[in-house]
């Protein structure tokens, strides 16, 4: 008998007659109950030093314009609703055709995209790079990212986000998970922003289910 077999035999003998603990209940994909999923999402996103603004659907255009008052060049995915950037006063708006180089993207002040999913508990936005979100470089190179998330796209926790993202994975598209502006820390734990992506993340949470009262 090998040492391994001897050890396992002795463990089995020691456990003989012992009470068995039932296996843990695993509920992958189960819904996380939250009293106010939108409020939780806003709170967690703000924890990352991102800006979150709640708007009604008809307020998206004005909110994008108010956010990007200083932008002179804005890039957008090819499938982004053009009315969202229709009120940008004096800014050049370019729809990405996939040919812009990283250096060319770096000369844009901001990017405006939609999103696929928002996760309330972690304050995370997920892009599945559909037509209204564009390729990954769009959300990584410009220094300001304005991201439009609809309340209907919010889920409670990470396991719940898997189902709505599956079609993108099956289609071979990448996923980009965004938790606040790009940030890292150096060896002395000094926070440095904008190293790996936008320094500013501005989220417009569209209240599709519970319209906001007039301002």
pLDDT, tens digit, for every residue of 101-140? 999 999 999 999 999 999 999 999 999 999 999 999 999 9
Q: Select from 127, 115, 119, 113 the least CA-distant residue to 41.
A: 119
How high does pLDDT run on average in the chain? 91
We report the CATH number of the domain holding residue 114 as: 3.40.50.10420
- Which helix H or strand E contains 12, and what residues bound it? helix 3-15
* Cβ(127)–Cβ(164) below 8 Å: no
Say what the pLDDT of residue 169 is: 94
Residue-wise pLDDT tens digits, 137-160: 999 999 999 999 999 999 999 989
d(CA 215, CA 89) in angstroms, rounded, equals: 22
Tell me the residue range of the domain where 36 lies: 32-206
107: in domain: yes
Residue ranges, the chain, pLDDT below 70: 28-29, 209-215
7: in domain: no
3: in domain: no
* Cβ(73)–Cβ(92) below 8 Å: yes
Q: List beta partners, residue 54.
A: 205
152 alpha-carbon distance from chain centroid: 14
DSSP 3-state assignment of 48?
Answer: coil
Say what the pLDDT of residue 28 is: 67
> DSSP class of residue 140?
T
d(CA 152, CA 64) in angstroms, rounded, equals: 20
- State the pTM of this model: 0.82
169: in domain: yes
Say what the pLDDT of residue 185 is: 79
């Amino acid at each position: 008998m090998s040492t391994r077999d001897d050890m396992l035999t002795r463990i089995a003998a020691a456990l003989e007659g012992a009470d068995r603990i039932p296996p843990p209940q695993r509920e992958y994909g189960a819904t996380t109950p939250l009293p106010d999923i939108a409020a939780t999402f806003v709170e967690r996103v703000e924890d990352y030093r991102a800006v979150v603004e709640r708007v009604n659907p008809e307020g998206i255009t004005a909110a994008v314009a108010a956010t990007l008052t200083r932008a002179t060049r804005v890039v957008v995915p090819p499938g982004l609703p053009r009315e969202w950037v229709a009120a940008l006063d004096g800014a050049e708006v370019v729809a990405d055709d996939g040919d812009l180089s990283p250096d060319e993207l770096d000369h844009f002040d901001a990017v405006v995209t939609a999103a696929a999913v928002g996760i309330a508990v972690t304050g995370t936005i997920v892009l599945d790079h559909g037509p209204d979100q564009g390729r990954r470089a769009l959300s990584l190179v410009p220094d300001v990212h304005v991201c439009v998330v609809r309340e209907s796209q919010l889920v409670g926790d990470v396991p719940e986000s898997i189902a709505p993202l599956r079609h993108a994975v099956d289609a071979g598209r990448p996923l980009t998970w965004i938790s606040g502006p790009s940030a890292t820390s150096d060896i002395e734990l000094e926070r440095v922003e904008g190293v790996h992506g936008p320094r500013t993340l501005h989220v417009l949470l569209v209240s599709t289910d519970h319209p906001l009262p007039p301002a």
